[in-house]
Amino acid sequence: MRTICFYFQVHQPYRLKPYRFFDIGEDHHYWDDFLNRSVMRRVAQKCYLPMNALLLDLINKYEGGFKVTFSLSGTFMDQMESYAPDVLESFQKLVATGHVELLNETFGHSLASLKSKSEFQTMVRNQQEKIKKLFNGYTPKVFRNTELIYSDQIGAMIAEMGFEATLTEGAKHILGWKSPNYVYCNNIEPKLKVLLKNFQLSDDIAFRFGNKTWADYPLTTEKFVRWINNVPQAEEVINLFMDYETFGEHQWAETGIFEFMRHLPEAVFKHTNYGFSTPSEIVGKVQPIGKIHVPIPISWADEERDLTAWLGNDLQDEAFGKLYELEKMVKKIDDPEIKRDWTYLQTSDHFYYMCTKFFSDGDIHTYFSPYDSPYDAFINYMNVLSDFTLRVKQHIKKQEVDE
């Protein structure tokens, strides 16, 4: 039987408050609690709560025939505990059904995989602990890296940490003539399976669903079922990966996105030979068809599917470089607040806000940014980082004196 794999990314960053030069050295609280709380509450009402309820209904209705997969970033889980215990409870209920898989990722939704192996490993372990704590001892077997960033090297690191499989983008320039609808394996460590996003079908739901100028608007379950039936029979797995906030936040309820999801399983069961599986189920029963070569990191962002949304311009590279210069010192400090801020400052969103690709994907960047311009984002981040650096150095100094 062929299968569909739904994986939803659930993430909220800790956004910085407007932090001025004059605050450096004095104000050590960097986070915009009000904004973070209100975003969390808004998205909870529009997306997390109604969509979780809908998914729970579907799972119960089909008694496990329908299943989904989540990855919850650590910064999301922290904010959920602080601002939305009701959302946490609904996720716990979903996981308790046994038909929902959780993936591991870096706790801080960071780009550490590109910079520091040890920091990457720390972040993965922290995430594991957090999931264990919140979800009744649950231990993920499959890993997904921030923004689906993947390369042969990163895959090897993931394999080394004992994961069975990972997820990434089915980027055109990587696949060439190949199809994303098979299971592949890592180029260095073949025991690590790689699942590739079918970006065509995923983005039909995530990006184009409510777009009235799209030739295929409106997207109905009949239409979607027809498309997946058109996929050659030999191709076994369709990976539909998207942000969870697609439902109700990026695509408003008025577009009919909830109704689409409510009726999709029924249409799939009635008119196709597809079922639903989670990544660990898939890698358990489907044999990989070959190795996938990814010498240069890819991601699921923008038209280029590369790293340029977060790194590459001078603002981003400077901020990113200066942040990781602190790693060695931070590792020597055992202070919960320093550790927390270090983690939250690594979140990829901070670098995303500094992106200057105005003319291609700039509009989607501005939509997600709390800043007026990438320059404002950079200044604010660097001010905060300057204060953080001072704190780190003071701690180190104090430790040296104490010794």
Q: Shortest approach of another protein to residue 24 CB, angstroms?
A: 6
Q: Does 384 contact another protein by CB under 8 A?
A: no
Q: Where are the alpha helices (DSSP H) in 18-138?
A: 33-43, 49-61, 74-83, 85-96, 117-134
Query: Taking the CA atoms of the chain, what radius of gyration do you get in angstroms?
Result: 21
Which tokens hold the place of 135? 């979800």
Shorter beta-carbon distance to another protein: residue 52 or 383: 383
Which tokens hold the place of 218? 């409106």
Shorter beta-carbon distance to another protein: residue 99 or 350: 350
DSSP code of residue 214? S
Task: Reply yes or no on whether 129 is catalytic.
Answer: no
**147, 236, 245, 249: which is the annotated catalytic residue?**
147
CA distance linking residue 276 with residue 7, whole number of Å: 11
Phi/psi for 276 (5° steps) reads -120, 140
Shorter beta-carbon distance to another protein: residue 262 or 322: 322
CA-based nearest residue to 281, from 183, 398, 375: 183
What is the maximum span of the chain, computed from C-alpha positions, in angstroms?
72
Q: Shortest approach of another protein to residue 372 CB, angstroms?
A: 11
Query: Which position among 211, 220, 280, 373 is part of the footprint of another protein (CB under 8 A)?
Result: 373
Q: Does 190 contact another protein by CB under 8 A?
A: no
Shorter beta-carbon distance to another protein: residue 16 or 124: 16
Q: Does 378 contact another protein by CB under 8 A?
A: yes
Which tokens hold the place of 33? 């609690």
CA distance linking residue 377 with residue 180, whole number of Å: 36
Sign, Cα dihedral of 153, 158, 163, 169: negative
Q: Shortest approach of another protein to residue 27 CB, angstroms?
A: 9
Which tokens hold the place of 297? 């990191």
- Footprint of another protein on residues 322-361 (CB under 8 A)? 322
Contact yes or no for 250/243 (Cβ under 8 A)? yes
CA distance linking residue 206 with residue 242, whole number of Å: 6
Upper half-sphere CA count for residue 242 (Cβ side, 13 Å)? 23
Q: Does 319 contact another protein by CB under 8 A?
A: yes
Which tokens hold the place of 317? 């590279």
- Footprint of another protein on residues 298-317 (CB under 8 A)? 313-315, 317
Q: Sketch the per residue contact string, 11 through 30, with another protein: x for CB under 8 A, - otherwise.
A: ---------xxx-xxx----
Number of amino acids touching another protein (CB under 8 A): 24
DSSP code of residue 65? S
Q: Shortest approach of another protein to residue 380 CB, angstroms?
A: 10
Q: Shortest approach of another protein to residue 309 CB, angstroms?
A: 17
Query: Which position among 44, 112, 268, 379 is part of the footprint of another protein (CB under 8 A)?
Result: 379
Q: Shortest approach of another protein to residue 184 CB, angstroms?
A: 38
Shorter beta-carbon distance to another protein: residue 39 or 315: 315
Shorter beta-carbon distance to another protein: residue 164 or 317: 317
Helix (H, G, I), strand (E, B) or coil at 388: helix
Residue numbers at the binding site for another protein (CB under 8 A): 20-22, 24-26, 313-315, 317-319, 321-322, 373, 375, 378-379, 382-383, 385-386, 389-390
Provide the annotated active-site residues: 147
